[in-house]
Chains A and B, each alone.
Chain A
């Protein structure tokens, strides 16, 4: 009986213990619902703010995204790149120490409280500095496979993709078969790649990259990396050479190039033809860039003008897939610049020949406009595979509007 009582007492007390099982202490956790989740675009807006506005987050706020570049290959050090979950772009996260253990495909969030978001004055890249990743950053999932954004250098402005993961197609190294960087002399590598349209990007590689002593490929093809920049030069930092696939045939023939680097409007057979009003086409230069410029604004007013900038004959008779690319920069409202093609023009006023308007290309926005250099994209000239092909830019203005157009890097080449 006594034994039974004791057993009862013991099992009773066990029950008591179990029923008062104590809840584990909980170290604080943040409530993200009290903080806004920012997109990279929003962060960029904050960072670009110039009116003495604060770029520091004083309250809990978050960046949530996926890692698009990590430290594994050694090409990035004390930094990772993250694309936000709204897919508005990438950002460079500068870490207070190396080995943050966030890897490509990891989903992470960063508590922005106490951090500044900046546009780096040297690189123009959006970044957050000296992140205490141990304290403020969390990997909450992994295994994502963020895809690169395909950037067409004939069309797109590379700098719009800074800090994001991009893929460039039809690229080739200007000096192939060189090492990416020199770990012995401790020199980072700058290896330029060029699109068939002639746009180049510098592939910048750290001498600490594990692949530094491998050689750059000699073919043409695609390359994936983080879009970076330095002092106005477009750059790229690759994550791993196995994302560089340049084994295809090199760029085809270039039939014509006009880049105004010789400070001449008409060299190489170009001519300007005034149809109405004063001559509006001229050679011009601005902060190092050299280009052709057309403006119907003179004598302190807008004038009615029409003038053409006409190329020399370009023989496309034996071409396969000829394309035209160029760049424009514009300001002030007015009539958009036109691009035309002729196969029977010889000389004089354009009216002496048959011209066909081409369409489907990009022009720099002109209203209000801020001379933003804009790539045209490829204009296919398959209909004009003729020995006597010419292209022309037709500029027009009225008293109510005279856009200033700048034109540069005109290339006719095999696609």
Chain B
């Protein structure tokens, strides 16, 4: 009986999950192999990676699981940009076939690399927190492994279509798998197409955006004999996306829309987006699995991950700022100085003239075409020098890696040992996309040019001075970030009668260096060639214990301490132009632990967790445009410490087999815990703007995620394979990430007691209003002639169409010490009502 209930629950679950992400899985869920050892164990079916490509965070990408809290985090809290435990993505390891695919530079996993391949990325083992991991050494955020080999798929074909209004409008997918054939071959191929354009779909929220994506996948397995399996997997997902940007409250207001997007404008009557991101980073992997005996396995993979990602944006020289919501173009700029006449005019222009509130491409082109350019002594009447261009910041990746894991079970011991390494090179440069009607762009630094020192100083490339850049050519900067990395790790798990425990360690060595391919005039000797090679030796230890009070009650405790390489971009003072290394750069370290109490009955599941993590000695580098200097300024905070602690509670109660009630509650405290030091450098100056300023950051909240979430849901599972559900989600304790420059003595000591209010405006941290969402799901499966399956599902999010909830925001790094209002905080609004309706057919 219990078995029946369980399997029914599993079935119901798989259907309800499919409602969320359209990768319906009546296929039996593939449980992780070590479920008896660790709890909770999450197993999922596929990923909806389309919700937000910009936000590459842990939580929104966590796929389904049998853990109630994680389910809510994945499917209900994602729209609020909830990050489980406040962890950034580098805390969670993402693997494909056991290979760590977190980006070596950023620590982030780029889920978009396999976006749209939902059919073949459904078998996910997902374990959050400090856990045993038989494939790699993972840290405080646990791991996600996508098992995607041809031989893991059953024979069959799936065709599906989805209609939606979030990022894309249409998605088509087709997948065919041969299953393991008699001759030892297994082949799976999959492809998809996603498409959306706000111009053709007024129900999409951010105007000017569009989305075009393809994905392809092929996997070929060959079982050589009982002991050897050879597996090839290759996939890629070219994505092109016209983006939307955050804006200030004023811009939303005067534009008359909470979905105001400053990144597009009309050119010749047609909508054109200035920020177009393109990614295409395929991955090829070849795996050899050697199984000499039932309890021994050696799996080795070599892989190659390559391709480009890019983002276009406007650039200008000796011309007014091209962004329509530049602060000088907003009414407040006039009102602030008491100029109500121009303030009113500007307000009216914003409301009535689309070419004022959006990019005026035609004007930029006209200004370019009017800018005749003559070199001294050589009058020219045709060639125009671009004032505005559209440029593309390109990153071209080459990452070679190998990964070898040995697993051995002996009685109560399960031993895992791994060795892996990478040779990683990411070349970054700018390319000119569109001269916007001009004849050329000159490859110089406009600010350095204004300094009036010798002409070499302003050159971006002194070997090719004053070069006239044409469309499609490289310019600006050109360098690579190189990382060589090797790691050895091991883990031992013991499985005793009432206690399970594991211990593990890792040691790794990372070597990071920059190589410049052009000599910049400001740093003629420090920009071309290789930088010093910075070495980071890292180690980690972890361990955990499960105490089985009974078959129904468990207590688990886990902990880890590890050091890790800072984000590569943070190692260099000004990576775009020179080789200098941030002074005293060191590895960051993470101490974390959690305590869980788990109850498991067939009709009742409960998990309660307390977690604690210290992430210390982080280096924080941000670059922003400062029009005072007409250049990028790099803020570098050193020795940043933060603590994340909190509780999670998930409860699921099944009543009369068809009514499922779920509740999730998370309350966290994610805060900075010390006073880091900060330096500031201009991109184009050898002298720092300042060094060693103390940042009074202690107890400021980490921004970008609600720190308090509550979810309640009810689902009804009908007898004939249909279901319907409703979820209520509440978000609170949402903070704006603080700009460290505003929390220094240099920024505040001018204030006196009498102006506490003005002081607080500078130093206080903004909290966004709490809000809730109501989501609904429904679906039905048909089994036709006992061999075809037809599945329909529908998800509606934000049922009440709340368009006033701000999910996140940020303090601008460029700020006006004398007048905060000049550079107001920017925000993102949650989309109003959205839907996803899917149909899929498998045979």
Mark A residues whose CB is within 8 Å of B. Answer: 2-3, 6-7, 9-10, 13-14, 17, 22-33, 62, 70, 72, 97, 100-105, 109, 111, 133-140
User: B817 contacts the other chain (Cβ, under 8 Å)?
Assistant: yes
Instruction: Name B599's closest neighbour in chain A (CB-CB).
Output: A2
| 16 A-B contacts (beta carbon < 8 Å) | A2-B553, A6-B599, A6-B606, A10-B665, A14-B647, A17-B646, A29-B752, A29-B756, A29-B759, A30-B749, A30-B753, A72-B337, A111-B750, A133-B817, A138-B751, A139-B818
Q: Which residues of B contact A6 (CB under 8 A)?
A: 597, 599, 606, 608, 649
**Residue from the set B698, B764, B765 with the largest chain A CB neighbour count within 10 Å:** B698
Question: Quick check: B698 and A25 within 8 Å, CB to CB?
Answer: yes
Question: Of the candidates B696, B756, B765, B822, which one forms a contact with A27 in the assembled complex, judged by CB atoms under 8 Å apart?
Answer: B696
Residue interface mask B730-755, A partner, CB < 8 A = 1: 00000000000001111111111111
The answer on a CB contact under 8 Å between A138 and B752 is yes
Chain B: minimal CB distance from A69 (Å):
12
Report chain A residues within 8 Å CB of B750.
30, 111, 135-138
Q: Of B49-57, B667-675, B769-777, which stretch is located at the interface?
A: B667-675
* B763 touches A (CB below 8 Å): yes
Q: Are A24 and B765 in contact (CB under 8 A)?
A: yes
The 4 lowest CB-CB distance pairs between A and B, nearest first, are: A134-B817, A25-B698, A32-B752, A101-B819
B696 pairs with A137, CB closer than 8 A: no
Docked complex Cα distance between A227 and B809 (Å): 47
Distance (whole angstroms) from the CB of B364 to the closest CB of chain A: 25
- Whether A109 touches B649, Cβ cut-off 8 Å, given contacts A10-B608, A10-B665, A25-B697, is no
User: Which of B336, B752, B764 lies in contact with A101, CB distance below 8 A?
Assistant: B336
Nearest A residue (CB) for B671: A22
Question: Which residue of B338, B608, B758 is within 8 Å of A139 (Cβ)?
Answer: B758
Chain B 581-635 interface residues, beta-carbon cutoff 8 Å to A: 597, 599, 604, 606, 608, 610, 628
In the complex, the answer to whether A103 meets B597 with C-beta atoms within 8 Å is no
Which of B649, B748, B822 meets A28, CB within 8 Å? B748
Query: Are B818 and A28 in contact (CB-based, < 8 A)?
Result: no
Contact B818 A137 (CB under 8 A): yes
* Chain A residues closer than 8 Å to B817, beta-carbon distance: 133-135
- Give how many B residues have a beta carbon under 8 Å from the other chain's beta carbons: 50
B339: interface (CB < 8 Å): yes
Most buried by A among B651, B669, B819: B819
**B 429-453 contacts with A by CB, 8 A:** none
Chain A residues with Cβ below 8 Å from B763 are 24, 26-27
Query: A155 to nearest B CB, angstroms?
Result: 32
Return the contact of A29 from the options B338, B698, B751, B822 (Cβ within 8 A).
Answer: B751
Q: Mark B761-796, 1 if CB is under 8 A from A, else 0.
A: 001110000000000000000000000000000000
Report whether B748 and A27 are in contact in the complex, using a CB–CB cutoff of 8 Å.
Answer: yes
Query: Once bound together, how far apart are the Cα atoms of A14 and B755, in whole Å?
Result: 35
Q: Which residue of chain A is the closest to B764 with respect to CB atoms?
A: A24
Whole-angstrom CA separation of A28 from B695 in the bound complex: 11
A-B contact count (CB 8 A): 123
User: Across the interface, do B338 and A103 meet the contact criterion of CB distance under 8 Å?
Assistant: yes
Q: Does B498 contact A (CB under 8 A)?
A: no
For A26, A103, A138, A139, which residue has the most chain B Cβ atoms within 10 angstroms?
Answer: A138
B positions within 8 Å CB-CB of A:
336-339, 553, 597, 599, 604, 606, 608, 610, 628, 646-647, 649, 651, 665, 667, 669, 671, 675, 696-700, 743-756, 758-759, 763-765, 816-819, 822
Known: A3-B606, A22-B671, A28-B745. 13 other contacts (CB 8 A): A3-B599, A9-B597, A24-B699, A24-B764, A25-B698, A27-B749, A28-B749, A31-B753, A72-B338, A111-B749, A111-B750, A134-B818, A136-B750
Across-interface contacts of B818 in A (CB, < 8 A): 100-102, 133-134, 137, 139
Contacts of B649 in A (CB 8 A): 6-7, 10
Question: Interface of chain B, helix or strand or loop or mixed?
Answer: mixed
The one of B647, B748, B753 that contacts A32, using a Cβ cutoff of 8 Å: B753
Taken together as a complex, chains A and B put the C-alpha atoms of A109 and B749 apart, in Å, by 12
Whether A27 pairs with B744 at a CB distance below 8 angstroms is yes
A2, A27, A101: residue with the most chain B Cβ atoms closer than 10 Å: A27
Q: Is the CB of B606 within 8 A of A29?
A: no
- Cα of A103 to Cα of B334 in the assembled complex, Å: 11
Compute how far the CA of A128 lies from the CA of B604 in the bound complex, rounded to whole angstroms. Answer: 75
CB distance B755 to A138 under 8 Å? yes
Give CA–CA (A36, B651) in the complex, Å.
Answer: 63
Contact A27 to B745, CB < 8 A, known contacts A72-B338, A109-B752: yes
Q: B699: which A residues are within 8 A, CB to CB?
A: 22-25
Q: What residue of chain B has the Cβ atom nearest to residue A104's Cβ?
A: B338
**B148: min CB distance to chain A, Å:** 37
Least CB distance from A313 to B in Å reads: 55
What's the nearest-Cβ distance from chain A to residue B806, in Å? Answer: 21
Closest-CB distance, A105 to chain B (whole angstroms):
7
**A137 contact set on B, CB distance < 8 A:** 750, 818
- Pair B700/A140 contact, Cβ less than 8 Å: no
Residue of A nearest to B708 (CB): A14
Asked if residues A14 and B667 are in contact (CB atoms below 8 Å), the reply is yes
- B696: min CB distance to chain A, Å: 4
**Alpha-carbon gap, A31 to B745, bound state (A):** 13
A134 to chain B, nearest CB (A): 4
Shortest A25–chain B CB gap in Å is 4
Contacting pair B697 A17 (CB below 8 A):
no
Chain A residues in 8 Å Cβ range of B628:
97
Closest B residue by C-beta to A37: B752
Which of A7, A17, A33, A72 has the most B CB atoms < 10 Å from its CB? Answer: A17
Residues of B contacting A3 in the complex (Cβ-Cβ under 8 angstroms): 599, 604, 606, 651
Whole-angstrom distance between the Cβ of B471 and the nearest chain A Cβ: 36
* Cα–Cα, bound, A2→B605 (Å): 12
Q: How far is the CA of A6 from the CA of B339 in the complex (A)?
A: 61
- B residues in contact with A109, CB < 8 Å: 752, 755
Complex Cα spacing A72 to B334, Å: 9
- Residues of chain B within 8 A of A24, CB atoms compared: 698-700, 763-765
Partner of B647, one of A10, A70, A72, A111: A10
Counting chain B CB atoms within 10 Å of each CB, the highest count among A2, A10, A33 belongs to A10
In the complex, what distance in Å separates the CA atom of A3 from the CA atom of B336?
A: 57
**Residues of B close to A30: CB separation below 8 A:** 749-753
State the Cβ distance, A114 to closest chain B Cβ, in Å: 12
Question: What A residues does B822 contact at CB under 8 A?
Answer: 101
